[in-house]
Amino acid sequence: MTMKNHTRSNGRLLDQLRPVSIQLGVNKFAEGSALIDVGDTRVLATASVERRVPRFLEDSGKGWLTAEYAMLPRATHTRSQREVSRGRPSGRTSEIQRLIGRSLRAVVDLRAMPGLTVTVDCDVLQADGGTRTASICCGYVAVVQALAQALAAGDLDRWPMLDSLAAISVGLVKGAPSLDLDYAEDSSAEVDMNIVGTGSGQVVEIQGTGEERSFSREELNALVDLAFDGLRILHQKQQEVLTPVLEQVASVEKRRERRPASPKSEGDLWGDPEKL
């Protein structure tokens, strides 16, 4: 499928991301935290490490990672009611929480963090499309920082991260494959898709819906290819902000690789007694 290289209503090319910035360590109390801006979408993620696991994992030798998601009342153009006042999260919120949690678990070796639970809280401060994908990108950064702190503190015997993780939206807008949809584009897209992928190029999850029409295998392939072009840029931005954290991890692992020298025998220490 040939992709037209025209500009969109917001001035971007079809294969162009919105401006992305990530700040690390924005919450001084959380073990890991990050703030991401993707265009006008802004998400705060904190990762908390606790010495406990859910009951179903007790005596399993595994740790756990879970996620929660929420939007501030004025994250959008009009105020929305806090879900806590309704008594339970909406179906949309529950679905997004599960998506974030299982996506992050795909790149974490839970057996490398026995007895520990990491809870990732993703709070949308401002929403202009792509809040779930921004939450995954930001949540990954917060998790890496939190687990690096646990490794340095001796709470982990080995580094549990298996790969990097990012997510992006794509869609068919006016028939054209488009990357990183904002709210206006998402609302009018004929086909809407969220793709989660690893830094090594593996697919974690694809959520695709024909909002206005069905779509062909050729269109699907074009959207997936477009998404992974965007994911490569996001992985690079994550790695840039995580460079000092990953250097700390490498330093801790290098120290642990050093083995104490074997004790010398009496003969080695004092020599042959007949020659003394």
Which residues, other chains included, contact 201 with Cβ-Cβ below 8 Å and sequence gap of 6+?
228
- CB contact set of 4 (below 8 Å; sequence gap of 6+): 14, 176
CA 35 to chain centre: 12
Cα 207 to chain centroid distance, Å, stands at 16
Q: If residue 96 lies in a helix (H) or strand (E), which one and from where to where?
A: helix 91-105
Instruction: Give the model's pLDDT for residue 264.
Output: 59
DSSP 261: P
Spatial distance between the Cα atoms of 271 and 269, rounded to a whole number of angstroms: 6
Handedness of CA 186, 209, 196, 25 (dihedral sign): positive
**What are 260's two structure tokens?**
């104490």
In degrees, rounded to 5, the angle at the alpha carbon of residue 59 between the alpha carbons of residues 57 and 64 is 30
3-state secondary structure of 11: coil
- Residue 114 near residue 63 (C-beta atoms within 8 A): yes
pLDDT of residue 11: 87
What the block records as the tokens of 185 is 């584009």
pLDDT for position 199: 97
The CA R_g of the chain, rounded to the nearest whole Å, is 23
- At residue 98 the predicted structure's pLDDT band, cuts being 50, 70 and 90, is very high
pTM for the full model?
0.90
Residues 6+ apart with CB under 8 A from 5: 13, 14, 15
Torsion of CA 50, 51, 52, 57, to 10 degrees: 110
| 238 contacts 166 by C-beta, under 8 angstroms | yes
Number of H helices, E strands in the chain: 6, 9
Q: What pLDDT does 2 receive?
A: 46
Residue-level pLDDT at 85: 78
pLDDT digits (tens, 9 = 90+) for 220-273: 999 999 999 999 999 999 999 999 999 999 999 998 876 555 565 655 555 555
Mean pLDDT of the chain: 92
Q: Which residues are paired to 123 by β-bridges?
A: 44, 70
| Nearest-5° Cα angle at 21, 16 to 24 | 150
* pLDDT tier, 5 (very low <50, low <70, confident <90, very high otherwise): low
CA 74 to CA 124: how far, in whole Å? 10
DSSP calls for 185-240? HHHH-SEEEEEEEETTS-EEEEEEEESSS---HHHHHHHHHHHHHHHHHHHHHHHH
